[in-house]
Structure 1
Amino acid sequence: MTIRNYITILLIFISSTIISQNRFDSVEIKSIKLTEHTYMLEGAGGNIGISIGEDGVFVIDDQFAPLSDKILASIKKLSDKPIKFLVNTHFHGDHTGGNENLAKAGATLIAHDNVRKRLTEVQKDGSNKPKEALPVITFNDKLNIYINGESVAIFHTENAHTDGDAILYFTESNVLHTGDTYFNNRYPYIDLNSGGSVDGYISAVKRSLMVINDETKIIPGHGKLSNKQEYKTFLTMLESLKSSILKAIDEGKTEDDVKNDTSITKTYDDLDYGTGFINSEKIRLTFYRSLKTKQNDSED
């Protein structure tokens, strides 16, 4: 590599780092009180869940690393107790980016087995996650943590948003954190390349709905604080899209046919479900690819 090329690459790296940092400078961490002991934090990335009490601070997800100082400052306003545990609902960077920083702040990291496996893989830029960013406690199916006067039930849902999703339910506070098995008022991101599937995603929502009641406060992975009725509406949308796209597959429609058929998602496009990270074309493609793959597998 010539010196000129090296300098060019270095300048690109520095510029991208500055742009990335500036992206978060204007982000404010908003704290929403749910119960006497639980809070939801909004910022950039996945919504954060917080439990405070005599035992210490319990955290669910941590957004991006550049926001850690702001997140820690927001937590400090809620409690002067130490951070005891951090649970990752899955491995995506907008939920695990602050792992290293929160571990250094004292948190013990917990996640599903597959989250640790994916975080230990080589990253897209060729780097490896530092040891401090990795969960030190993992589980396969379910886990209970007793903290701040209640049991927090943590359960894994298979092949939903990813292959390592965890949903958490605060049994006394009646608060549910869904991770990215729920995008409130928008189409979800189902990561097919990381073990996610349409059927698994729908099953995850149904399982969560069995746990809660009409008074439950729901922290979605993305979107505003929610409730059972809104979560049921989300399920109806998922099942409606599945039915329509299965019909198209049975009729022999191709991937391009479904991609271009806006009538499939019109009802929810009109409700602005496609204005988030996943637009209407992407959700049609995701459903088609997931359901078609399952159909092909069953025929083999």
Structure 2
Amino acid sequence: MKLIKFFTVLFFLLISLTNCAQGRFDKVTIETIKLTKNTYMLVGAGGNIGVSIGEDGVLVIDTQFAPLTPKILEAIKELSDKPIKTVMNTHHHGDHTGGNENLGNLGATIMAHDNVKKRLKEKSPEVALPVITFSDKLSVQVNGEDLLVFHIDNAHTDGDALLYFTESNVLHTGDTFFNRRYPYIDLNSGGSVDGYINAVKAGLMLIDDNTKIIPGHGNLANKSDYETFLKMLETVKATILAEIKKGKTEDEVASNDTITKEYDDMDYGCCFVSSEKMRRTFYRSLKRK
């Protein structure tokens, strides 16, 4: 009887957790931002989505969380009645790949860097995995233009990609750019401060003053926003390197809010990554050098 009671409680606990997970997305709305005649940015919960529409069908960059797929599909239906043919993942994190399984089941072809597939295989069903992968770069002809895809080594993770629409002049950075926010650098997944900074520099080489930039998180951006973000990264890096050379410990750097005060005052620590977490991550990455 005790065993039956245990499994009964466990069953209802799992149901409750599932409902809570679903419930956190109930009030999320999908905002559609038109960039050009055939490219869009979708904002919901999780990583920002890029969309290309046209005669070839719909291409989607990143898929947010699985429970949001119906809302995302409704938003895309307002733009095009063609099927979603292709999904591109900027990296492996769940807020960018959670809807892969749903879109894979609808027949979409999923593409990503080799390391994205390796990491997703650890936790995802076959239908959610990329079926086309690349190690360095990729060129995709879609809806009348070239989509250039570049791998960036050890930036946010070990599988990051920048995606640039050549005719639309639209860049999707994935999580190698958090607009006016401190970034999350996943050291446990191959990310690094130096790689992250190099990713931003690589992105800046692709664009001009008229480029529309879809960041992984934050508002639609332009070149000036991107340059401001790079300056923040380089400033914090230089300051923390100086602290390391002085022999400061990780906890001393993490607790020293003067290091990031300029950007704290601009509310860069508003969201997922606090200024303390930012300083600790930079210390750990730079200390490894």
Q: TM-score, normalised by structure 1?
A: 0.95
Q: Per-residue displacement from partner, 1:48-78 (whole Å, max 9, x unpaired)? A: 0000011111110000000001101111110
Deviation at 1:8, TM superposition (A): 2.5
Question: Is 1:274 equivalent to 2:269 in the alignment?
Answer: yes
What is aligned with 1:136?
131
What is aligned with 2:87?
86
Question: Is 1:146 equivalent to 2:141 in the alignment?
Answer: yes
Quote the Cα distance in structure 1 between the aligned partners of 2:141 and 2:6: 55
What is aligned with 1:244?
239
SS of equivalent residue, structure 1 residue 180: strand
What is aligned with 1:76?
77
Q: Per-residue displacement from partner, 1:103-157 (whole Å, max 9, x unpaired)? A: 1222100000000000011x4xxxxx11110000000000000011100000000
SS of equivalent residue, structure 1 residue 181: strand
Question: Is 1:160 equivalent to 2:161 in the alignment?
Answer: no
Alignment of 1:152-231 (within 5 A): 152-231=147-226
What is aligned with 1:52?
53
Paired-residue identity, %:
67
Alignment of 1:22-37 (within 5 A): 22-37=23-38
Deviation at 1:31, TM superposition (A): 0.5
Look up the equivalent residue of 1:12 and give its one-letter code.
L
What is aligned with 1:298?
none
Question: Is 1:12 equivalent to 2:10 in the alignment?
Answer: no
What is aligned with 2:96?
95
Quote the Cα distance in structure 2 between the aligned partners of 1:4 and 1:239: 57
Query: 1:285 aligned to 259, 265, 280, which one?
Result: 280
Give structure 1 stretches of 5+ with no counterpart.
Answer: 124-128, 295-300
Q: How many residues align?
A: 288
Give structure 2 stretches of 5+ with no counterpart.
Answer: none
Quote the Cα distance in structure 2 between the aligned partners of 1:254 and 1:50: 45
Look up the equivalent residue of 2:100 and give its one-letter code.
N
CA RMSD of aligned residues (A): 0.9
Deviation at 1:13, TM superposition (A): 1.3
SS of equivalent residue, structure 2 residue 269: helix
What is aligned with 1:66?
67
SS of equivalent residue, structure 1 residue 172: coil
Deviation at 1:7, TM superposition (A): 2.3
Deviation at 1:5, TM superposition (A): 2.4
SS of equivalent residue, structure 2 residue 24: helix
Quote the Cα distance in structure 1 between the aligned partners of 2:3 and 2:247: 54
What is aligned with 1:297?
none
Deviation at 1:2, TM superposition (A): 2.2
Q: Per-residue displacement from partner, 1:146-185 (whole Å, max 9, x unpaired)? A: 0111000000000000000011000000000000000001
SS of equivalent residue, structure 2 residue 277: helix
Q: Per-residue displacement from partner, 1:4-37 (whole Å, max 9, x unpaired)? A: 3222322221111111111111111110000001
What is aligned with 1:126?
none
Look up the equivalent residue of 1:144 and give its one-letter code.
S
Q: Per-residue displacement from partner, 1:172-210 (whole Å, max 9, x unpaired)? A: 000000000000010000000000000000000000000
Q: TM-score, normalised by structure 2?
A: 0.98
Quote the Cα distance in structure 2 between the aligned partners of 1:139 and 1:7: 47
